[in-house]
Amino acid sequence: MQQQASSRRGLFLTLIILLVGAAAIVAVATLKPKPAPKPKEDIKPPQVKVAPAEPGEHRLSVHSQGTVAPRREINLVAEVSGRITKVSEKFVAGGFVEAGEILVEIDPRDYRFALVQAESQVAEARQRLATERGHARQKKREWRDLGNQEANDLFLRKPQIAAAEAALAAAEANRDKAKLSLARTRISLPFAGRIRSTKVDLGQFVNPGTPVAQAYDTSVLEVRLPLTDGEAALLDLPLGSAAKAGPKVVLQGQVAGEMQQWLGQITRTEASLDTRSRLYYAVAEVNEPFAAANPLMVGLFVEAEIAGRPLANVIELPKNALYKRKYLYWVDADNKIRREPVRVMKTGEHKVWVKAELPQAAQVVLGGQQFLAPGKEVAPEWAEGQSKAGRAKRIADKAAPLSASSSASEEG
């Protein structure tokens, strides 16, 4: 009996614990405060920096480089044999000489003797011709005194006169040859130039064809400038046979530790494209390169800035406006992103020039294009310097003439 009573009490206690737990759960569920509903937040479109697309006329200069070389360079050689008896003080590597100035003189005595002999032969041939003509006149009178109107050529000594005339012509030719050989004992340049190197010196015996010196013309120097097809499209190059003045060129190089500039002009292009690199080669010439205070040196490596031709409907933008080298992202009237393929005319260090079919004053996105997609709504914001005042200042600066040095630093 006692055992049954103990079991009932345990069962009763368990039932009470279950009831209390259930009541607690119900109380917690019913008395828990409900969260207040929050208002839905509006998602703002991302801000993007933009700049206006302003098509206009631009002259896009092209940068190239090359090595200064003479336009005309020759090898002086001896045309007669003999010993060198005189050498000019200017006959040294680097010497400047005038056209026709005697640089080297070969011993002329043998050639003077030959000239005297040739002149003697000419005198003898003239005397022989005069004698034959006198005999012919005498024979003609004798034949006329005989009363016959016709006489043969041999009697009138016509063959003898022809032979005497030919002998005189040969003697005069030998005399002229002797004069020419004597003149060739004096070696000079046919133009004002500079000696690059000398091959002979005083007392040396030379034969015809012996190299004497190497010299170049100092009136004009030239630079071969390689250009790609895209760069050639920006320039007014003389590609055809029609003679026309090419664009101006500013050359810049370092001489004795200082940067110097020279003004030249494209005068021609080479006859064909380079078959390996497919490059054009334009030739820039600099006149009187040694007359200035800063002479242009042969062999100097120079940077060249070539003036471009006027191009219409070209848009100038900051360089970060170009995406993947061929696209522009711009914002339409509904503030949505649009993508447009473009033709890149030129890229500089900080700017890019393109041609594109864009609405007037379209807002072009500057940077961050990889996070945008066509059709996405954005909040455009003018980039620094692209506001109305900034654009007005940029247009005024563009209208002002730029010096060659400032233009070069602007475009890099």
CATH number for position 293 = 2.40.30.170
Q: Would residue 300 count as lying in a domain?
A: yes
Q: Verify that 286 and 328 share a domain, yes or no.
A: no
Cα(26)–Cα(23) distance, integer angstroms: 5
The SS3 call for residue 410 is helix
Residue 404: predicted pLDDT: 37
Amino acid code (one letter) for 79 = E
Residue 399: predicted pLDDT: 46
Q: Would residue 84 count as lying in a domain?
A: no
Least confident of 75-79, 156-160, 227-231, 317-321: 156-160
Cα(194)–Cα(295) distance, integer angstroms: 13
Amino acid code (one letter) for 262 = W
Q: Verify that 284 and 237 share a domain, yes or no.
A: yes
Token pair 């563009």 in the structure block, residue? 398
Q: Verify that 121 and 136 share a domain, yes or no.
A: yes
Q: Would residue 194 count as lying in a domain?
A: no
Mean pLDDT, the chain, integer: 84
How many CA atoms, within 13 angstroms, populate the side-chain half-sphere of residue 295? Answer: 9
Q: Would residue 344 count as lying in a domain?
A: yes
| pLDDT at residue 373 greater than cutoff 50 | yes
Nearest 5°: phi and psi at 344? -80, 120
Write out the H or E segment, with its range, that includes residue 115.
Answer: helix 109-145
| pLDDT at residue 6 greater than cutoff 80 | no
Cα(161)–Cα(150) distance, integer angstroms: 19
Residue 391: predicted pLDDT: 55
Q: Verify that 321 and 302 share a domain, yes or no.
A: no
Residue 8: predicted pLDDT: 67
Average pLDDT over residues 105-132: 91
Q: Verify that 302 and 324 share a domain, yes or no.
A: no
Q: Would residue 389 count as lying in a domain?
A: yes
Residue predicted with more confidence, 124 or 4: 124
Residue predicted with more confidence, 241 or 314: 314
Q: Verify that 301 and 315 share a domain, yes or no.
A: no
**Per-residue pLDDT tens over the stretch 229-287:** 999 999 999 887 666 788 999 999 998 888 999 999 999 999 899 889 999 999 999 99
Cα(373)–Cα(74) distance, integer angstroms: 65
Residue 407: predicted pLDDT: 37
Domain boundary among 271, 291, 306: 306
Domain boundary among 286, 306, 326: 306
Picking from 230, 221, 280, 281, the residue whose alpha carbon sits closest to that of residue 253 is 221
Residue 401: predicted pLDDT: 40
Q: Verify that 364 and 299 share a domain, yes or no.
A: no
Q: Verify that 335 and 385 share a domain, yes or no.
A: yes
| pLDDT at residue 402 greater than cutoff 50 | no
Angle between helices 109-145 and 158-183 (to 10 degrees): 160
Q: Would residue 27 count as lying in a domain?
A: no
Residue 387: predicted pLDDT: 57
Residue 16: predicted pLDDT: 72
Q: Verify that 334 and 375 share a domain, yes or no.
A: yes
**Per-residue pLDDT tens over the stretch 93-118:** 999 999 999 999 999 999 999 999 99
Domain boundary among 182, 197, 232: 182
Picking from 346, 264, 340, 257, the residue whose alpha carbon sits closest to that of residue 303 is 264
**Per-residue pLDDT tens over the stretch 176-232:** 999 999 999 999 999 999 999 999 999 999 999 999 999 999 999 999 999 999 999
Q: Verify that 277 and 363 share a domain, yes or no.
A: no
Residue predicted with more confidence, 2 or 237: 237
Q: Would residue 87 count as lying in a domain?
A: no
273 sits in the region (left: phi over 0; alpha: psi -120 to 50; else beta) called: beta
DSSP 309: P
**Per-residue pLDDT tens over the stretch 349-360:** 889 999 988 887
Q: Would residue 23 count as lying in a domain?
A: no
Residue 411: predicted pLDDT: 41
Q: Verify that 406 and 330 share a domain, yes or no.
A: yes
Whole-number percent of the chain with pLDDT over 70: 78
| pLDDT at residue 170 greater than cutoff 60 | yes
Q: Verify that 406 and 320 share a domain, yes or no.
A: yes
Cα(247)–Cα(64) distance, integer angstroms: 14
Q: Which structural domain, as residue segments, surrounds residue 278? A: 63-71+216-306
pTM: 0.71
Amino acid code (one letter) for 319 = K
pLDDT category at 365 given cuts 50, 70, 90 is very high
Token pair 């920096």 in the structure block, residue? 49
CATH of the domain at 345: 2.40.420.20
Residue 135: predicted pLDDT: 76
Cα(275)–Cα(400) distance, integer angstroms: 42
Domain count, the chain: 3
Query: Which of 219-223, 378-382, 403-407: highest mean pLDDT?
Result: 219-223
CB atoms within 10 A of CB 213: 23
